[in-house]
Amino acid sequence: MNTITEQRETFKSPGQILRELGVSPSNSYNNRKNASRGMAAVTSEPEVFPKTSSDKTGEILISKNIITQSDLSEAMERKRRQPTKYLGQILCEMGITQSKIIKTIYFNNKRKKLGEILVDSNVITDEQLNDVLIKQRHQKNLGMHKHLGTMLTLGNTITEANYINALSAHFSMPVVSLKKFKVSTSLQKAIGEQYALKNRIVVMSNTNHKLTVAIAEPHLSIFEYLEKAMPKGKHILFCQARSAEIEKCLNEKYDPFHMVLYR
């Protein structure tokens, strides 16, 4: 009998529950209405997302009149489909002048460091990056400076493919294969055979408006030198290639004794 009484006492009307909570039943409708209005106000406000590095880089490129808002919208749409690619790479693929992209990203401190790219790509961990940076500083103090990518590759921490892909992202350069490519004397003369041999550059094509070259170890000084050598209305596209493929191409064209003169 006691059990039945206890069960009956647990059933309370909505009015009773509201009174126990300190809410007047007569005001419950208004309270619900006000709550609904508050929720509607919150949901009607546009959601604000923090700007990404790509967004900021895009804004800088627009402010420098290098790309348009339409270019950026298209590039960001492509990036959503290819999230592992950086904005600079995508813009180069779209035909935006590579040198302007590289310079703008570089001088506005928006270019990702090689180590950061390798970490972002899950190729190495933060701990591995810190370890090799410590070793690199130690060797530099001893007068034996080595590039980060070289140290990681020689230590079998990353593969050559990992290194090439990271350089491609770092410099906004497309990756090319030279496996079946034959070096042409006339093409090499477009930048000077001596300069090409000294800096291990292979000229892939040459038209009235564009010169395309492949390089294993890109450097801003090389970009600037060759850009200045281009006639008005012509730009140069730098591509990333494997060092072994570039060496093979040059060795097939020039005998070892000839190359020694330019090393």
Of 135, 156, 157, the residue nearest 146 (C-alpha): 135
Q: Give me the percent of the chain exceeding a pLDDT of 90.
A: 36
pLDDT of residue 42: 41
Give the count of beta carbons closer than 10 Å to the beta carbon of residue 198. Answer: 13
- Average predicted confidence (pLDDT) for the chain: 80
C-alpha pair distances (Å), 71 with each of 105, 165, 170: 16, 24, 21
**Does residue 124 have a pLDDT over 70?**
yes
Threshold 0.75, pTM exceeds: no
Which H or E run includes 211?
strand 210-215
Q: What is the pLDDT of residue 52?
A: 64
Q: Please state whether beta strands 201-206 and 210-215 pair in parallel, antiparallel, or not at all (unpaired).
A: antiparallel
The more confidently predicted of residues 59 and 84 is: 59
Task: Say which CATH class 185-260 falls into.
Answer: alpha beta
Beta-bridge partner residues of 212:
205, 237
Query: How far is 219 from 154, CA to CA, in rounded Å?
Result: 21
- pLDDT of residue 26 exceeding 70, the answer is no
